[in-house]
Amino acid sequence: MEKLRFEDINLSKEIQKAVSDMGFEEMSPIQSQAIPDIMDGLDIIGQAQTGTGKTAAFGIPIIEMCSREDRTLQAIILCPTRELSIQVAEEIKRLSKHKRDIFVLPVYGGQPIDRQIKALKKGVQIVVGTPGRVIDHIRRKTLKLGNIKMVVIDEADEMFDMGFRDDIELIMNHMPEERQTLFFSATMPNEIVKFAKKYQNNPKTIKVVHKELTVPEVKQYYFELKEHMKTEILCRLIDIYNPKLSIVFCNTKKKVDELTIELQGRGYFVDGLHGDLRQPQRDKVMSKFRTGNIDILVATDVAARGLDVDDVDIVFNYDIPHDEEYYVHRIGRTARAGREGMAFSLVVGRDISRIKDIQRYTKTKITRKDLPTLKDIEEKQTDILLGKIKEEIDKGGLDKYEKIINPLLEEDYSSFDVAAALLKFYLINSRLDSHKELDAVDFGGTSVNKAMSKVHINIGKRKGVSPRHILGAILNETSLPRKTVGNIDMYDKFTFVEIPEEYVEEVIGGLNNKRIKGTKVKVELANPKR
């Protein structure tokens, strides 16, 4: 199916402007297929991976459907975790920023419920929340569902894995019968399909089908890092590997512009390429790249189509692409004409699931690498310098430079001391000085390996509870990120859970006296002897 551009469908000028502001050039496959059908009022079962643009696929129709004059709740989106609820709410806010009087509220455990109640009383049209906290509001009658027009179950497979099926069923039973219901999931086991159809009216199934891919012979690596580290780590990799030509891929036009300016400010020979550039501008940028006047090209996927340059040494995925096909197209820009090539991907948070999806689909290995340190750069630059020194010595013709050094040698300075001092001056004045220090990378900061503690929960296997129910309860009632939860050791009558020390009090306070599968639980810090 030919991908659509946002201007190809009947969207309000406010949405069109918001999409343009966000830097999107064309719809992702799930957006192309889902948005027209959702806007036609159809119930949808959509199968697509995380990071494929699902949020906009249902978010845009929701915003277009909502009445700005009516401050009652009109749409609700259920998400498995606090992090995803916040992420989805933020994206919908960005998409609706030019539509005044559209209000979006995330509701989740770990945040004071009074604050959420206050916001709900003022009136919101869209709520994004975790099942447990949504149920809390339903029971308190602070969430009124009578005017709901659209319901979205996002990441349905993950919700079921976390034991939220009963919670979702309870919520759905409070909804008006006359509504539009959308299910989105990375996988579609029969259990989810049957469940979805129970609450839908003649749903249309949309599955993003990928083409068969041919993966080039490229050495592929990824780095796990925080968002604020991305530009610094990119610069370190460029300085360590010193590619003749490289391409840095971003997902949006806005990011291309921002990153290009930042890299130029750091002294790199770089220019940007995206769909907003006129053809003469595009041709000029490409000419500079082919002739080596710039050695780094920052580009979007759309802009890089038809790019034919043989000497690209490294492809950087500054943003992980929404589509596996895009990844393959990106890394195919290197390793041409029998040459070796490398691809580096910068992975933040939930991006790791995309990397795993790409590996499964392409049947290739993407190897994790440690983040480069300032010491790594210094060592690399020292190696480069020593190589150049050897070349100059072999060439000869150093007589005039020896005359400059001789006075120092006559003062009893050794040739070793002189060489070491010159090396120091070179490194101080090299690009090393432009790099920013990163605590967790350069000084062994605590953000990488956090100290863990164990909490004891007085419920176990005999109550029909599984680790997924425990995990779901923790994530629903606290702000604890899912990936920081350690081992869950379950016994007949109790359970131990490893969590970072900084979250102990929040987990104990948030979970105490809450119900897991109908049983009220007590949570306490585990005895160290256990």
Dist CA 325 CA 49 (whole Å): 13
- Give the pairing type, strands 515-516 and 519-520: antiparallel
pLDDT grade, residue 444 (50/70/90)? low
Q: Answer whether 6-207 and 219-371 agree in fold.
A: yes
pLDDT grade, residue 385 (50/70/90)? confident
CA distances from 35 to 31, 58, 100, 182 (A): 5, 7, 22, 11
The CATH architecture assigned to 452-525 reads 2-Layer Sandwich (3.30)
Tell me the pLDDT tens digit for each residue of 100-129: 889 999 999 888 899 999 999 999 999 999
Report DSSP state, residue 52. S
Q: What percent of the chain is predicted at pLDDT more than 70?
A: 92
Residue spans per domain, the chain: 6-207, 219-371, 375-437, 452-525
At the fourth CATH level, which superfamily is domain 6-207? P-loop containing nucleotide triphosphate hydrolases (3.40.50.300)
Tokens of 190: 């029969």
The mean pLDDT of 265-293, rounded to a whole number, is: 88
Look up the CATH number of domain 219-371.
3.40.50.300
Neighbour tally for 210: CB within 10 Å = 13
Q: What is the mean pLDDT of the chain?
A: 87
CA distances from 104 to 62, 151, 368 (A): 11, 14, 37
